[in-house]
Each structure stands twice: as C-alpha cells, then as structure tokens.
Chain A
Amino acid sequence: MLETLVVTILFNTLIYTIILALISVGLNMILGVLKILNVAHGAFFALGAYTSVTLVKIFLTGGLPIFTTYIALILAGVLSGLIVGILIEPTILRRIYTRIEVYQLLVTYSLALIIEDLIKFIWGPEAKIINEPYLYLGTLNIGGVFYPTYYIFLIIVGSIILFTTYVFLNTTYLGKIIYATAFDKEISLTMGVNVNKIYTYSFIIGTMLTTLGGALMSPTLSLQPGFSSEYIVIAFAIIVIGGLGSVKGAFLASTITALARSITIIIFPELELAILFMIMVTVLLIKPTGLFGG
C-alpha cells in the first residue's frame, strides 16, 4: 500500500515537474532577459496544444502511421513557438520595453485575449481531443499502479528539451551572451551585442518551451478555450517561488510545487491549489526575492 502510494506520488511529481518547468522556465527566461512579465504566456501554451491537434490530424488523415504523431506533436510545439516568437517580439514587445510595468501587463494581457479569441476563431469553441498518441502506447504497470505509457514519453521528451535548454544556456556562446544581456543590457551593448537580436532569440526559446509543453500535454487533455489559464496561474506562482528571472529557480520551484501537489491531491484534494500558494506566501515571507532570486 505504502509502496503504491510512494510510486504514485513520485510518478505524478515527475510528470507535473516536467510540464510546469516547460511553462515556467520559458516564462522566467522571458522575464529575466526581456524584463517583461508576459501574461500571454498561457495563451502560447494553448496555441501549442491546438496546433498539435491540427498537425496530428493532418498526419493521420494523410495516411501516416500513428507513431509519426509523436513527431507531429514536437513539430507543432516548435513551429508554433517559432512563429509566435518571430511575429510578436519585434512587432509588439520591442515597442514596450521602456514603458512602465502596468503598460506592459496591459499589452501582454490584451495579447492573451486576442490569441484566445483567435483560437476560438480557428479551432471553434467546442472541445478538441486528439488521444491517438495517448492511446497508442497503452499502459504500464509501475509498482502495481497502471499508468498510461504516454506519460513516460512525455517525461523523457520533456526532460530532453529541458536538459538541452540548460546545456544551451550554460555552455554555448549564445547562451552566455543571453545570460550577459539578461544581467546587464547596457554593458552588453558596449561589448557589441545586438541586444534586439538576443531579445528575439530569447523570446523564441521561452515561447517554444511553453508551446512544446502545450503540444506534449494535448493528447492528455480535452482542449477548450481558456483551458490554459490554470497552468499560467501556477507558472506565475512558480516564478515567484523560484525567483523572478531565474531559470534554475523556475526548475527547482516546479519540482517543489509538483511534489507538494502530488502529495496534497492524495491527502486533501480540495487543497491542491491552496498548497501551492501557501508555499508561495511562505517563500515570500522568508525570502522575498524567491529561492534563487537577487
């Protein structure tokens, strides 16, 4: 009994960590480099999920075997992130970097509403389900508990994406230039960094992480307009816990939050969200800058 309970908690923690980390690492990266709290981040998550619905359907109706739908999911995440990043950063966000935070919040909130309506316009208001990739893999017995094998796929692919992002940011020249720009924009300019380009790259990477999260989660969800708001609220709490702008902090806070949620869901399911905000308030009282913040 205890063994089953531990396995359940650990497995749920892993799944939830990966999804929350994909959303919140991207959100925190955008905040850290561009210094913008992107309220539209949740809408990007939804866009990744809806794009995957279309791509999976195209793959299946095109007669491609079901296993190729996993490629369709990743492709949907990458493409939607890339398109959103290229379109939004240079045309809209670049014009508001020097404006006050309230103005930035209003603009990104408006963007979120526009994207949500565009989703309704393109995909319709009714629920969308693409469970073929989810059902195809069947279930797996882990410590006496049956889990959809799709979650193992999600954990592996999500971990690879996060690990690659970590390696990219910490070991490549471009990653270090992004870090330098996030730390000190002015001095980066005097070193010859084209800060506008770095902002675009960072926004694309941050957005792509969340669209990939949405695409990977889509086979496990019934997609309805506005479904992403739950995730974005949690992501905001996570970046506060981890420290505003800290990529490492976002990952650690995702793990803590996922573990707390997995335990709470079993013991007091009604307090699922409350536990998250209790952690946030506690961190704010003890270390207002978050676990890895300034």
Chain B
Amino acid sequence: MSLLDVLNVNVYISNIHILRDISFILEEGESVAIIGPNGAGKTTTLKTIVGLLPLKSGKIIFNGEDISNLQIEKRVEKGIGYSPEDRRLIPDLTVEENILLPCWISKLSRTSIDNNLKKVYEFFPELKELKNRKAKYLSGGQQKIVSIARALIKMPKLLLLDEPFEGLSPLIAKRLLKIFEQIKSMNISMIIADSSPTYPKAIADKIIRIERGEIKEVLRHA
C-alpha cells in the first residue's frame, strides 16, 4: 500500500494558480526529491501536504486515509513531520526545547520521548552539546539541523524537508545525506524539495521535476 497519494491537486494562493494538477505516489519507506527552480511550486507542494495551504481540488491520501480537509495538527498526529525552508525556530527557547516542543503536545509516553531524543542526538551529536543554547544564538547551519531534528523527533512516517541542504557546507551536507540514509533505513519516507538535484539524487528513489506548478518529469532513480 502506498503511504501518500497526491491526486490531481490544484492549489491557488490569492487567486493565482500555483499547483496545477499535481499527482504522485510515495511508497512506504520511499524517498522522493522534488526538484525545480525558485517559484516552481516545491514549497507549495510540501505546505499543501502538511495542511498549511488548502486544496482547490484534488485529494491527498495518507496511509489510506483522505486527509485533504484534515486540520494540520491532526495530520501531524498521524505521522507527518515538516522542516521548513527558513528553519523557523523559536528564538528564545533552547535547542532541546525547540526539538522537544512537538512532543509536549503529543500522546507519546515519557519513555518514547526519551528514546526518540536519544536517537536524534545519535544522528546529530553536535546538538547534544548545544542543547541548552538558545536558538537565536545558533548559526544558520545549526538552525537547519535543529529544524530537521524537530521534524524527526516524533519519528513520523513521512518527513517533509524543504531545502534541507541550503546554506550547509559540502561537508555537513554530505553528512546530512548519510543521516537521511539512516532515517530511510528506519522505514521513514521522505520528500525532499530542492532547487538543485546534486544532493537529493544521492538519496531519492524517485525524482520529480516540477516547473511553474506542473510536474514535467518523474524519474526512477537508484
């Protein structure tokens, strides 16, 4: 059974037709890269899946359930994690508080939260050292990592990553790729939106090329 079915999705922002009849399928444990220039509709696609933007028409089926009209917090509860392009950490909270905030609202047990946090620190050991530092004092790259860790903390079924490699040094970007491999091996599916295929193609099973809100090409990869 597929994990996510995006079916003929059309999205408008202020009466402008942004996504035009977008359709794709994501299998469980599969990774997809959505590649396209700025303004192509990559971020809009991710925002629509998580529920930040409403559909004009079409359907989004997640884990067999139609979530097209479901509230965002319910989608998150069902197992969707989202890391935005611009990081958007809460500046006066510490690194650990930023990572754990989604757990404070969830029904996860204390033990699960502790285990997940341990796992996240195994992926990103540098965050453990920075855990008491306020987010506003982090570099852009560090903030990016915290944003990904925050999206991962509840071990979602689907991880939406908007430009995860942006602003990272090649060394850190390559390390992030290895972390994504490990996440994938945990059967967590990923959709990575990026303007360049350089890094995503190393991890993606499928590459979707998007332009002006339309899917131009779907390439099976790896």
- Name B77's closest neighbour in chain A (CB-CB): A192
Complex CA distance for A135 and B97, rounded to whole angstroms = 49
- The answer to whether residues A189 and B72 also contact, given A173-B104, A176-B97 and a CB cut-off of 8 A, is yes
Interface stretch among B37-45, B86-94, B123-131, B186-194? Answer: B86-94
A183 at the interface (CB under 8 A from B): yes
Those of B102-143 within 8 Å (CB) of chain A: 102, 104-106
- Name the B residues within 8 Å of A194 (CB-CB): 73, 105
B84 at the interface (CB under 8 A from A): yes
B82 at the interface (CB under 8 A from A): yes
Complex CA distance for A177 and B105, rounded to whole angstroms = 9
- Name the A residues within 8 Å of B50 (CB-CB): 190
A266 at the interface (CB under 8 A from B): no
A96 at the interface (CB under 8 A from B): no
**A-side interface mostly:** helix
- Name the B residues within 8 Å of A177 (CB-CB): 101, 104-105
Complex CA distance for A192 and B102, rounded to whole angstroms = 6
Q: Is B93 a contact of A191 with CB atoms below 8 Å?
A: no
B13 at the interface (CB under 8 A from A): no
Choose among B76, B90, B106 the residue that contacts A184 (Cβ–Cβ < 8 A).
Answer: B90
A180 at the interface (CB under 8 A from B): yes
- Name B46's closest neighbour in chain A (CB-CB): A190
- Name B98's closest neighbour in chain A (CB-CB): A180
In the assembled complex, the CB of B71 is this many whole angstroms from the nearest CB of chain A, namely 8
How would residues 173 to 197 of chain A score, 1 for a CB under 8 Å from any chain B CB and 0 otherwise? Answer: 1001101100110110111111100
Complex CA distance for A183 and B84, rounded to whole angstroms = 15
Complex CA distance for A179 and B150, rounded to whole angstroms = 17
In the assembled complex, the CB of B14 is this many whole angstroms from the nearest CB of chain A, namely 13
Q: Is A187 a contact of B88 with CB atoms below 8 Å?
A: yes
- The answer to whether residues A183 and B90 also contact, given A191-B101, A191-B105, A191-B150 and a CB cut-off of 8 A, is yes
Q: Is A190 a contact of B52 with CB atoms below 8 Å?
A: yes
Q: List 17 A-B contacts (CB under 8 A).
A: A173-B104, A176-B90, A176-B97, A177-B105, A180-B101, A184-B88, A186-B88, A189-B51, A189-B73, A190-B82, A190-B84, A191-B76, A191-B101, A191-B102, A192-B73, A192-B105, A194-B73
Q: Residues of A at under 8 Å CB distance from B?
A: 173, 176-177, 179-180, 183-184, 186-187, 189-195
Q: Residues of B at under 8 Å CB distance from A?
A: 50-52, 72-73, 76-77, 82, 84, 88, 90-93, 97, 101-102, 104-106, 150, 154
Given A179-B93, A190-B52, 11 other A-B residues pairs in contact with their CB atoms under 8 A: A186-B88, A187-B84, A189-B73, A191-B76, A191-B101, A192-B72, A192-B106, A192-B154, A193-B73, A194-B73, A194-B105
